[in-house]
A and B are shown apart, each in its own frame.
Chain A
Amino acid sequence: MKKLSARRRHPLAALVVLLLALAATGGLYAAFAPADKAQADETAQSLTIEEGKKLYAVGCASCHGTGAQGTTDGPSLVGVGAAAVDFQVGTGRMPAQQPGAQVPRKKVIYTQAEIDQLAAYISSLGAGPAVPTKNQYSPEGADIAKGGELFRTNCAQCHNFTGKGGALTHGKFAPSLEGVDPKHIYEAMQTGPQNMPSFPDTTLSEQNKKDIIAYLDAVNGDDTESPGGLELGGLGPVSEGLFAWVFGLGGLIAIAVWLAARTAKAKKS
């Protein structure tokens, strides 16, 4: 201690103290300032929102208004949430091609990164459901039988028993759920796109949604095997009845005509 004390008036002492103080401050700052990362994130986030806003101004504002407040051509997007954007743009429904009874699924024209930017901008306008994580919508660990029950209670009235879709009024229809990304099915349940009612987590829990997705994967997936063979569109009695009348009855008539047209006589007249 004496040694240190003796050198306290050394010309370099001030420099040493300064260096020590700087090191301590820097170390403490590094240790206690996680806000640093958040700061950077927020900047990235606001950049994403900025990009999204630009994309929005070009692709969406003509119908939904410059501030997403909605016009006569399109509804307000305040509070619809990122999930709604991800569904509508991710399935190609938006941007809409032409007004009509229903905006159909078509080719996706934005990249996933652009969709995320749009979603970030829209969700910055008002709180809404977020895009689900893979964990939420992957059919693993779900109860398929329970999913079937839930599907028949909540969805089958419009989408048919195995999700083949069906007709509604004035040209509207419930689309087929065949080959639809589980993420989009999840988002549709959560946000209720177009005329579909929504099924929020408060009435249809996250696990319920997972079960429904697992059921659809089981009955309508790529490697689903139909125990009945020819499905005839899976549309139920209309196509099955038509098949029976045309091919079943038609076959019987053809056999009857064939039998009667051939004479069994030895002399052909």
Chain B
Amino acid sequence: MSSQDIPEENLPAEQDAHGAVGVADDKDPFADPGLPPHEHRVQDIDERAAKRSERVVAMLFTLSMLATIGFIAAYVGVPHDKAIYVFPIGHINALNFSLGLTLGVALFSIGAGAVHWARTLMSDVEMVDERHPIEAPPEVRAKVMDDWKQGAKESVIGRRKLIRNTMLGALTLVPLAGVVLLRDLGPLPGTKLRHTMWRKGLQLVNMNTNEPLRPEDVAVGSLTFAKPEGLEEHDEEFQTEIAKAALMIVRIQPDNIKDKRELEWSHEGIVAYSKICTHVGCPISLYEQQTHHVLCPCHQSTFDLSDGARVIFGPAGHALPQLRIGVNEEGYLEALGDFEEPVGPAFWERG
């Protein structure tokens, strides 16, 4: 509805420019132009329009209520494994779609109703609220200072030093009780960060088959993941232990191994490296078998497995720790000790 349709008697009287205190002139080139004259909305002058706005807002709020009831009904009624086809999205789980749609409508209708209410029916008269200092008046401040001095004098704290000093001591020590309780947040880490489950004689078990690995199982160019013997997935400590003990086994032609220590710690070219990135501990296993590079998926740190797992790119600060391996009497691969250095991300006291 435009202003032309409004009956003449309903239009408000022409208003003064109540904020317009002046215009810029020679004397005051930056005069405050004040607020423009207030203009009315259709709803302010036409009760029918206001009624209509009220109905729209109420309808949006009602729609929200219905959508919420629809959400509950969908949660109860729609089977969780049913798929439907919805045009621009394609195939989608019916429950996900109905829950998302109803909750979305319920929330959006509340917002849209509130915005329409504020724009059309709530008062939109411009108001000026001048700033004022936030400090207390000088007489109140003087009174408070006087009271403070009076109190200090009456408590004799300035005269009886023993009381003052012991009180300060007591107040200083009391928070220590709370600090000491923080000790109960958990056990101290001890040397956990420096040790893994690996020790001399522990067999390397293939994560896929749960069988101990033999050297002839590991072909050149293959990639295998291993865990220590005796660690099973249903063990309570499995996640804690595998997070440090996970191994990546690759076989490289001994002639292609550039690092002397790596060759010495391998078994006929089979090398076992920690699978935990030394940057922030992501499982690292994007292995390129022709280049012998292994990449971390998180921040693209790249290690050269044919050269002592040296870092050749990315934010990692240390080479991957290598596990020294050999073969036991039964012909299975076994560890010849724990990792020499802590696995995973560097920490401040790392040796």
Mark B75-109 against chain A: 1 for CB-CB distance below 8 A, else 0.
00000000100100111110011000000000000
Mark A148-163 against chain B: 1 for CB-CB distance below 8 A, else 0.
0010011001100000
Residue of B nearest to A209 (CB): B208
Q: Which listed residue, B39, B219, B223, touches A154 by the CB 8 Å rule?
A: B223
For the residues of A in contact with B, the DSSP-based class is loop
A195 contacts partner chain B, Cβ-Cβ < 8 Å: yes
B250 contacts partner chain A, Cβ-Cβ < 8 Å: yes
Q: Are B41 and A199 in contact (CB under 8 A)?
A: no
Residues in B whose Cβ lies below 8 Å from that of A194: 290
B:221-245 near A, CB below 8 Å: 221-225
Asked whether A202 and B40 contact (CB < 8 A) given A168-B288, A229-B96, the answer is: no
Q: Are A202 and B216 in contact (CB under 8 A)?
A: yes
Q: Are A230 and B124 in contact (CB under 8 A)?
A: no
Q: Are A203 and B208 in contact (CB under 8 A)?
A: yes
Q: Are B297 and A266 in contact (CB under 8 A)?
A: no
Residues in A whose Cβ lies below 8 Å from that of B313: 169
**Min C-beta distance of B223 to chain A, whole Å:** 4
Q: Are B217 and A230 in contact (CB under 8 A)?
A: no
Residue of A nearest to B223 (CB): A197
Q: Are B288 and A169 in contact (CB under 8 A)?
A: yes
B6 contacts partner chain A, Cβ-Cβ < 8 Å: yes
Instruction: Spot the interface stretch: B127-135, B140-148, B279-287.
Output: B279-287
B218 contacts partner chain A, Cβ-Cβ < 8 Å: yes
Residues in B whose Cβ lies below 8 Å from that of A228: 92-93, 96
Total residue contacts A-B, CB cutoff 8 A: 120
Q: Are A195 and B291 in contact (CB under 8 A)?
A: yes
For the residues of B in contact with A, the DSSP-based class is mixed
Residues in A whose Cβ lies below 8 Å from that of B214: 202
Residue of B nearest to A265 (CB): B39
Residue of B nearest to A208 (CB): B208
Q: How many of chain B's residues have a CB under 8 angstroms from any CB in A?
A: 53
Q: Are B90 and A203 in contact (CB under 8 A)?
A: no
Q: Which listed residue, A197, A227, A266, touches B289 by the CB 8 Å rule?
A: A197
Q: Are A200 and B219 in contact (CB under 8 A)?
A: yes
Residues in B whose Cβ lies below 8 Å from that of A204: 208-209
Q: Which listed residue, A153, A168, A267, touches B286 by the CB 8 Å rule?
A: A168
Residues in A whose Cβ lies below 8 Å from that of B89: 229-230
Residue of A nearest to B216 (CB): A202
Q: Are B289 and A192 in contact (CB under 8 A)?
A: yes
Residue of A nearest to B111 (CB): A255
Q: Are B222 and A205 in contact (CB under 8 A)?
A: no
**Min C-beta distance of A197 to chain B, whole Å:** 4
Asked whether A192 and B92 contact (CB < 8 A) given A203-B213, A267-B39, the answer is: no
How far is B207's CA from A23's CA once the two chains are assembled, in angstroms? 63
Q: Are A229 and B209 in contact (CB under 8 A)?
A: no
How far is B83's CA from A228's CA once the two chains are assembled, in angstroms? 10
**Min C-beta distance of A201 to chain B, whole Å:** 9
A198 contacts partner chain B, Cβ-Cβ < 8 Å: yes
Mark B199-222 against chain A: 1 for CB-CB distance below 8 A, else 0.
000000011110001101111011
Residue of B nearest to A196 (CB): B289
**Min C-beta distance of B268 to chain A, whole Å:** 15
How far is B208's CA from A204's CA once the two chains are assembled, in angstroms? 6
B343 contacts partner chain A, Cβ-Cβ < 8 Å: no
A:147-201 near B, CB below 8 Å: 150, 153-154, 157-158, 166, 168-169, 172, 174, 192, 194-200
Q: Are A153 and B219 in contact (CB under 8 A)?
A: no
B3 contacts partner chain A, Cβ-Cβ < 8 Å: yes
Q: Which listed residue, B40, B224, B225, touches A265 by the CB 8 Å rule?
A: B40
A238 contacts partner chain B, Cβ-Cβ < 8 Å: no
A3 contacts partner chain B, Cβ-Cβ < 8 Å: no
Q: Are A226 and B216 in contact (CB under 8 A)?
A: no
Residues in B whose Cβ lies below 8 Å from that of A192: 221-222, 289
Q: Which listed residue, B86, B124, B217, B297, touches A203 by the CB 8 Å rule?
A: B217
B2 contacts partner chain A, Cβ-Cβ < 8 Å: yes
B:174-210 near A, CB below 8 Å: 206-209
Q: Which residues of A contact B (CB under 8 A)?
A: 150, 153-154, 157-158, 166, 168-169, 172, 174, 192, 194-200, 202-205, 208, 225-230, 259, 264-269
User: Top 9 A-B pairs ranked by shortest CB distance?
Assistant: A197-B223, A229-B92, A202-B217, A227-B93, A195-B288, A229-B89, A225-B83, A225-B91, A197-B289
Given pairs A225-B92, A227-B83, A229-B91, 9 additional interface contacts (CB within 8 A): A192-B222, A195-B289, A197-B250, A199-B224, A202-B217, A202-B219, A226-B90, A264-B120, A268-B2
Some 20 contacts from A to B, beta carbons below 8 A apart, are: A172-B288, A174-B286, A194-B290, A195-B289, A197-B221, A202-B214, A202-B217, A203-B222, A203-B224, A204-B209, A226-B91, A227-B83, A229-B92, A259-B115, A264-B41, A266-B1, A266-B2, A266-B41, A267-B3, A267-B39
